[in-house]
Amino acid sequence: MKTVSKPQSFNHIFTRKGGSEPEATHYCPGCGHGVIHKLLAEVIDELGIRDRTILISPVGCSVFAYYYFDTGNVQAAHGRAPAVATGIKRARPDSIVISYQGDGDLAAIGGTNVLQAANRGENITVLFVNNAIYGMTGGQLAPTSLLGMKTTTTPRGRDYHDYGAPMKVAELLSGLDGVAYSARHSLTTPGNINKTKKAIKKALQYQMEGRGFSLVAVSYTHLRAHETYITIS
């Protein structure tokens, strides 16, 4: 019988969070952040990189990621996590730097930041959590909101003629020469969760091998999986 336990890279008691439930996260029921946190922590353990890992927390629902990970943690301004990750990686090239961002943080205010980091081929890994909406600020339309999706700012649903199509970040970045690995997966089924973990592991392995920029986009919705990578000899 397999024993299920928290990864070593994940704090067992969240003392930084405080409150009456120190073993519970602050995320809403059904939120994918908890699953993604567990996958990331498991991969960090499996690769044996906990002492080298520096996680960049964004502005958004996962702004308090440092509550949970027993790794290095740095807080970045809204959308600026790739720039902060770039500085840390260049100053500490032996570290494993992970920029953990949501869709409002990465695809909206931080769009130029991630685009330029990817284009330069910065040897960092971006974990892009896409729930297709601004979750923390009241449920407004995000760049990745699906067509027809109702939000507080699009009560009749996202209309293509007014708001354009959802931004496909993984595909957009995969066309840049500096991108070594770009993938999109989801949490919609147990099988997809396993595929997501494998993608996160591959992205971090690419960083460990110095191949360049890597990104894994993880959605809560039924988006078709996408994967692009290059091999550098």
Range of the domain at 59: 33-229
Does 21 fall in a domain? no
To the nearest 10°, the Cα dihedral for 101, 148, 185, 29? 60
Altogether, the residues listed in the chain come to a count of 233
Does 211 fall in a domain? yes
Does 221 fall in a domain? yes
Does 1 fall in a domain? no
Residue 15 CA: distances (Å) to CA of 9, 22, 24, 69: 15, 6, 10, 11
pLDDT at residue 232 in the model: 40
d(CA 143, CA 169): 10
Give tens-digit pLDDT for 31-82.
888 899 999 999 999 999 999 999 999 888 888 888 999 999 999 999 999 9
pLDDT at residue 2 in the model: 60
What letters, b where the CB count within 10 A reaches 16 and e where it falls short, cover 15-38? eebeeeeeeebbbeeebbbbbbbb
Does 164 fall in a domain? yes
d(CA 130, CA 218): 6
Could you tell me the two tokens for 140?
């407004």
Residue whose token pair is 């990864």: 7
Residue 203 CA: distances (Å) to CA of 55, 74, 100, 150, 196: 14, 20, 13, 33, 11
pLDDT at residue 233 in the model: 31
Q: How many structural domains comprise the chain?
A: 1
Each residue's pLDDT expressed in tens, for the chain with a length of 233 residues? 565 678 989 888 888 887 888 888 888 877 888 899 999 999 999 999 999 999 999 888 888 888 999 999 999 999 999 999 999 999 999 999 999 998 888 988 888 999 999 999 999 999 999 887 777 777 788 888 888 888 888 899 889 999 999 899 999 999 999 999 999 999 989 999 999 999 999 999 999 999 999 999 998 765 554 545 444 43
Does 69 fall in a domain? yes
φ, ψ dihedrals at 226, nearest 5°:
-140, 140
Does 155 fall in a domain? yes
Does 20 fall in a domain? no
182: domain CATH number is: 3.40.50.970
